[in-house]
A and B are shown apart, each in its own frame.
Chain A
Amino acid sequence: MEIRLEHLTKIFPGREKKNPKDVVAVSDFHFVIPDGKLVGLLGPSGCGKSTALNLISGLEVPTEGRIFFGEDDVTDLPPEHRGVGLVFQNYALYPHLSVRQNIRFPLENLKGEAKLTKEVMEEKVLEAAKVVQIEGLLDRKPSEMSGGQQQRVAIARALVKKPKVLLLDEPLSNLDARLRLQTREEIRRIQCETGITTVFVTHDQEEAMSISDSIVVMKEGRVQQVGAPQEVYDSPANLFVAKFLGNPQINVFEGEVVRERLRIGEDDVLAVNGAPDGRVFVGIRPEGFVWKEDGAFRCAKKSVEVMGRDSSILFGHTGAVTTQPRAIMDSEIASQKIGGEVRFDLRPKKVFLFHPETEERILFS
């Protein structure tokens, strides 16, 4: 089911004494989530991504704008009539019910003609349990299971009614690092198998990049950029997106464009055809530095962080806005010399220019 958000806005009225200002949680969301895709809503805490998810689920009513599932306008429908499955951050499994009862719970709510017999319910419960591979744990209580298993139960409960849309709120944040890797693959697999349009919320860029077909980067209730993960990484729309995606973070410098040449500090580092003259923020991905004897970018090497296959060279530069700029390269090259001046050439595709005030991207060729 395709999800279409049209100028969606959610304003929480400020409570009078504590915070008299209205809070704009979601502002003018306007994009389409294609049918059968896995989409990640990505942003720092408090950027409104959970509110966006709640708007899609129907738990919150938008202040303005419409939501369409396919051709149907669902804006005024309560959550139970939208056909959504929702997985909560803390799973919200009912602690007093067994796994089987938890997964069956949504089915038992069906009334009238939709009412199911016990046998059909059992069948559906088993089917959902199989998708998430917990069919052996059906008689356990949630408290007797690990976080990852609880997560699967929550997904099974969301899937059992065959929703048109599956929504996951920070699905991996309560898992330890290893389980997180495993579970995100699992979510990807379940999504592929069922083909359900899935939206998930996360503040972890790596998580979003690794499994999404498409990511929506948000900041302070506004959409910054929508696109395939690689596309957004390779071509960030503004400084925020550039800084938010990528680990280690992008290095930011103050620079200046003079007659289509980019200067950082003393050095003339790159030809930037088509960029207007003036001060700019320069973002350089850590992998954008190429070590070279007579490279154009000079800096003072401070130390090397060895990470195995690659190493980071930490360096100092007078024009740096980033507190600790770093370049990533082969461990062999990085370890050659410690201290003193190093020189780099820059890969043009890994260098982005941003307007100093609006922080919007300035394109060059």
Chain B
Amino acid sequence: MRRISATLLTLFLALVIISPFQPAYAVNPDEILSDPVLEQRARDLSVGLRCLVCQNQSIDDSDADLARDLRLLVRERLTRGDTDEEILEYLVARFGEFVLLNPRFSIQTYILWATPFVLILIGAIVLLVSSRRRSKHKPEPLSENEKAALAKILEDQEKPA
């Protein structure tokens, strides 16, 4: 079921041709480690690892065979005493950065990570500057002619038509 990773939205909108998929389930009872602390670490790691053959789906959610293999691999490494960092390092060395759903902060992702902060900063500065400028340039008071014209219009307005 979950090979088609996306939502139904995807399913509906995606180009009709949808790959066949078989229902099995993500984490199966036989995979679960007896040590609850290790198991929790395994789950936390799994959420951030991409099922490489799926579309934008973590190995924790996916039922693909590859996802199962990766889940077992993560658990095997955990029981051997590897740290989270070592496991991620190992997986990146094998599969590339593509496996990480949370992209690392590196030269190729500077723009990605900086976007929200830089944009909000620029936006705030632009707003500050323009509001300063606006408050300096008070609109000129109405001329006598304008005042008269305005009074006349307002007077007309008051009278029922």
Whether chain B is bound by chain A comes out as no
Chain B interfacial positions (CB closer than 8 Å to A):
none
Chain A interfacial positions (CB closer than 8 Å to B):
none
